[in-house]
Each structure stands twice: as C-alpha cells, then as structure tokens.
Structure 1
Amino acid sequence: MPFISKKIQKTIQNQFMHNQATLENIEAIRQLLAEQPSPDTLISHLKHWQGEQNLYIKNYLYWALTTLSLIFLLAGLLLSAYYLIVSVVLFSLGIRYRIPTSELENLKEQLRVYMLEQTYKVKFQQDEPPLNHALLDHPLFQFGNTDNTVTILLVGKAMIKQKTYDYSVFKYRYSYKTKTTNDQGQEIWETTTCDLWGVLMENFPFKGVSISAAHKNRCHLGVEWQSSDIRFNQKYQQSGMSEFEFVKFLTPERLLALENMMQAFYGDFYVHPHTGVMCWLFNESPLVENNYLFQASTVNELAEKLEQLHMPKLQRLQEAFTALLKTL
C-alpha cells in the first residue's frame, strides 16, 4: 500500500507540474500575441522558445478516477450501496484534478485568426453582419423564391497604384420551392437549398457590365456583346447597358484578367447598372484552410503548424481579383 500511495502521489505531482508549465506557456504566448508581432516574428519567437515546451493538458488522473468510479458504480448497483459512496468520492476526486482544455483551444483559435488576418490582410466577420437593403436587391441575390440570405465572411483591402479598394467575401444561401409528384402520384412542394460564394465591391469604376459563365437570365443586360476573343465568346455571355461603355471596359488587358478570374473561380461577374456594386459569384468556398494546429503538443510544433497554416483558395482569389483591379 505505501508503494501504491507513493506512485499515486508522484502521478499527481507530475501531472500538476506538467499542466502548470502548459498554463504558463499559454499565458506567455497570449502576452506575445498582444504585442501584435508580424507572422514571421511570432513564429521566430515560438521556434526559439525559452523554457518548457509543454503545450497540452494531462488529465490521466481524471480519466483513471472516472473509470474506477464507473466500476464502483456498477458494483454498487449489483452488490452493495457502499460501493456507490466510493464511486461518488472517486468521481469527485477526478473532477478536482481535471484541468479544462478550453484555454488552450481558445489560444490556438486566436493564433489561427491572427495569422490568417495578418497574412491575407483581411478581417473575419465574427458577428456575421447583414447586408444593407441596397445590396440585397442585387439581381444575383434573387435566385430563391423562399429565402435569400447573404452573410459577409470577411472584409479586405487591396492597395493598387496608391488607391485602396474595399471588398467583401460573402456566402449566399438561397432556397426555392418546386412542385413535384411523389410515388403515389400526388403533387407536393419540394424545397431545395443551395450555397454560393463570392466577392462584393461597391463603387466599381464601371457600371452595367455582365459576364456570365452560366448564361443566367438575371445576368442579362440590355446590349449583347462579343469580345475580340472567340474562345471567350464561346464560354461567356456578355452584355451591358451601352456599347460604348462596354468597349471601354473590355480592353485586351482586362479581358485577360477576367479570363484568369473565371479560371480561378468559374461563375458570374456582374456590375449593377445603377449602383455600381460589383458581384463576382461562384459555387465553391474560397475559405478552405490547411489547419493542423490541433496536432501541436509543444511550442516548437505550434510554430511549425503556424507556418503550414494557409488558405490556398483565398490566395488564388486575391491574386486573380488584384490582377483585374490593376487594369482599372
């Protein structure tokens, strides 16, 4: 019994020291983050970390005591109520020695958001602000007959030729009902929900321009047009409000930029003829992440996973969109 008692005491002590070092590292990294270093500086600090490397919580004792508690609970139900008391005591001890992992998870989430925002020069919208009424009236947000919901996911700024362009990346969810017939031959209404994504920019320098990959009726403006590129004409429906304005907009340089945009994210490019709101709409999310922060159990591993953290589709979107802005 003395041997077992010493082993338990040593286990408790080791777990306490390990978790204490982890909690101290969490606080130190949080203080470092508060200084708002550049991504490279932050990673360099983590790579050359002084002190303990611990960055995970040990709750072995909690799980062991909880398991024993369940065993005694079963014994209490089958054999004697005495074992129920032991079960409660063991479970209470387990709760006492358990350290929540929420602080560590919150830190990794803060690091994720900070690194991505700094790397891609964007700001994620946590509160999901609704669009104003003028933007919701955009023709490309009217595909649903029961619901049309647009959520801003992030906002960004592009600096081109000493000029700042504000843009938003959004998610558009719409639902529509269609009448169909079931197996019994009865007519029923069936609801379909679809998700699209895209880029919004207000005050686009040109108005009344539509280039649609899907040949949507809602993308059609008054004047049909064809560019000098035969392949482009075969792929995209082009229309505008004025031939003169369309010719002015669709220069060879801009045509190439639009082609690259459509290759990056196949969809629709539409500038409202009256408000000048530009919408580039497509059917895949640009916010897919390569995120392995959950695997980090030491400070050095955290630095390594932060280096690997990136959003390749968002980078592709920004490069294609910036190329168009450079032609304006």
Structure 2
Amino acid sequence: MTNSTELYLGAVQKAMEAGHQHRFTEIHAEHTNTLYAHNTCGFMLWHRRFLLAYEQMLRSMGPEYAQLTLPYWNYFDDASKQMATKVPCNSLEGCSSFLRDFGGGGESDDAVGQSQIVAGINIEYGTCVANGVAAHACAHSDGLESGHCEGCIMRGHWAAQNKILESVGPDFLTMLNVFNRTAGNADAHGLLSTTVERRYHNAVHNALGGTMGDMPSPFDPIFYGHHSTVDMALFIFNRCRYDPTGKIDIESARRDTTFDLFAGCGDVSKFKPTSTFFSGMGTKYRDFIDAENLGALSYSY
C-alpha cells in the first residue's frame, strides 16, 4: 500500500467515524436524487458534483488532508490481468490491489443470514466485511457518537474464481471505441453518458454486489474509486472530442438545466453540515462540464 493510499484511507476512516460517510450515502439514496442521477443525460455531471463535495469533505478531516484527491480504480488494467494467461490471478480481488487496499471482499454473494440497514435500505446479500477501513464503517449520521457503529460493510465474494469484469473489456481501448461511436451524433454527450452508465458503470456495481449493488453504494468507499473512473471517461472524452485550447461545446449537456441534490426536504446547500462541502459550486450542468475550469475545484487526470 502506498503512502498516498494510507493517507486517503485515514481521511475516509475519520469521515466514517464522524458520520459524514453515511450522510453522503443518504444523499445518493434519496429517491428524488436517483431520478436526477441515473438513466438521464445528467448521470455523469450529477456524480461529478457529488464527487467534488465528497473530496471537499475528506479534505476537511484535518490539515494533513488539505491536498488530498480522490483516487480512481483502474479496473481496465485489472480486467486485462484476468484475461491474460501469464498473470497468476483469477478473481476480482486477486487481480486488484485497489480492492485489497480497501479491505477486500466477503465470503459469499448470496444471502447468508447477514444483513445491514444503510440509509433505510436493507442490504442482505454478501457478507459484512470488517477488514481495513471497512472496520470503521458506521451506518449512522452521528458516527461514533451514536454508539451503534457496525464496523463492517456488506460486500460480495470478490475472491470467487472466474468472476471477471468481462463487459468492461480488456483495456481502455474499449472505452475509446465508445468515444468513436459518438462521432457525428447530435447528442454525443448523452450517448456517451448512456453507454458508460449501462455498460461499464452498472457492470462494476453488479459484479461487486453487496452494498455496491444497491442505492446506498456510497457507504462503501470503493464507490468513489469506481465513479472517479467513470468521471475520468468524461474528462478524456471532452479532451479528445474538443480542442483543448478552446471552449467545450456543452449544448448537448443541457447547459442551462439546473439540478438539485436533495437532503431530506431540501437542497444539500441549505442543510448543515453537508452545505459546507457543496459550497462554492454551481447548480447547472454547464458549471461542471469542464473539470479544468472549476476555479478552486479544478482538477485533471
């Protein structure tokens, strides 16, 4: 495990113990948010705003985390390892240092008498993993102060032999093929969003199972590595499709559409403590299309 990974997991642990991990999970699992965030043209940009706020939250966990950035999970390389005959790994976990660093998977994909209620949803498939950072998980917005932290996360059987990310493809070239298919399409951004969500995004969630297979998936920190990879696809798409020195055309991204992230009965910007983490951000899709033009929140891959 690298020093940067240890630093990141330290911030995640503090976020869990403070209840913030569960608060972000509640936002994602809120029914109104799911209508904005999934199966729409705004899938990628809704989650980009969500990722930015989560990163801001982690940075607030202490001065040592002030420059922290979200890692992405390169499951294209992991899938390639699984398909290569000369590499001695034959499972999701065996081929992925990312999954191992985050505590690894459970002992079964099926319902085995274990369950966990997260953001009001009962997760009953998989086993509750208490390794690594997962041992600090707390499905309560008051964190340790609640006195009811489970100290585990429901996960599928990631070490199962021959469980592979087959639909992800052998390498990132499969994603480039998706980019090429958008050429000449009047709604290239919408086509990209739909294809990435249904082919890559959903496949990874389904393969991991457990909490990652349901709406409270942000309870598992693996979620943020997965969605950072999805976000990277949008970043590369924009750089390949448009002149890097010019303005990105965001007409097809419904540039003037305002989208909300709800927390209970109102937008996250109106409720503490989440309002702090979403401050300084726009509320329209056009505000998030160019990752390198987000002011203090700008980033690149």
Q: TM tier, shorter chain?
A: under 0.3
State TM-score, norm by structure 1. 0.22
**Larger relative strand fraction:** 1
Higher relative contact order (CA closer than 8 Å, sequence separation 6+): 2
Pair member with larger Rg: 1
State TM-score, norm by structure 2. 0.23
